[in-house]
Amino acid sequence: MTSRFPRLALRAARARGHGVVVTPTTDIVIEGYPRSGNSVAFASLLAAQSASIRIAHHTHAPANVIAGVEAGIPVLVLIRAPEDAVIGLVSIKPDLTVVQAMRGYRRFYEPILPYRDRIVVSRSEDVSDGFEGLVERINQRFGTSFDAPEVTANSRSARDELIERYWRDRVGPGLPLLGRTERRPSEGFRTDVASRARAGYLSAPESLRRRLAALYRSFTEGLP
């Protein structure tokens, strides 16, 4: 898979208009499997800054993480429990099978596991609840001085506006593959898809489920 190799994968992401890739002027990389808090983390950090920063994000490719590590750029990797992440993705991408989504989870996290001690990892639930502490961890780990967001209605509004603006302005043939659907499914439809996806996850090959669970433990062990 080209997603493992920065030069090939990032060139493809640029061509497809898929996410924002690492460049020499990138200040921080924020990446994770889809539906793992990527948009909230990106917008929360960006909205909180008193000065402009450049964030590489939303390629959903391990190559963006690897490129950031190898360039000495701060990297934040987001991770959600595999069952919830897979179901979340299949719920908005019903043409994607559960097993395909599970393999995508493995393809994202396996290549970056060797870099675990050179990045900051956050559970997805800690992005929306406790992002200030996460920014402090990033600053301590990398010697940076990013501003932490204030927990106010105004800061949340600024964050949400950045999220909407980002998706509104994105173009490119790569987006429908893993990005947001062009038309959001109805709540009832998503609930039905999620229910079937959960059943599909539990009936997926046990070896695959064990591998995803092991990856999640490897990345989250020792987190505060």
Say which amino acid occupies 16.
Answer: R
- Residue 171 confidence (pLDDT): 54
20-76 pLDDT, tens digit each: 999 999 999 999 999 999 999 999 999 999 999 999 999 999 999 999 999 999 999
Q: Which stretch of 37-46, 85-94, 141-150, 161-170 has the lowest confidence by average pLDDT?
A: 161-170
Domains of the chain: 2-220 (3.40.50)
Beta-carbon count within 10 A of 212 CB = 23
Q: How do beta strands 55-57 and 28-32 pair?
A: parallel
Residue bearing tokens 């994202």: 108
Beta-carbon count within 10 A of 86 CB = 30
- Residue 133 confidence (pLDDT): 94
Distance CA 38, CA 185 (A): 20
171-211 pLDDT, tens digit each: 544 444 444 444 455 666 667 888 999 999 999 999 999 99
What percentage of residues in the chain have a pLDDT greater than 90? 66
Q: How confident is the model at residue 6 (pLDDT cuts 50, 70, 90)?
A: low
132-142 pLDDT, tens digit each: 999 999 999 99
- Residue 189 confidence (pLDDT): 62
Tell me the average pLDDT across 72-101.
94
CB 136 within 8 A of CB 148: yes
Q: How confident is the model at residue 213 (pLDDT cuts 50, 70, 90)?
A: very high
Phi/psi of residue 200, nearest 5 degrees: -65, -35
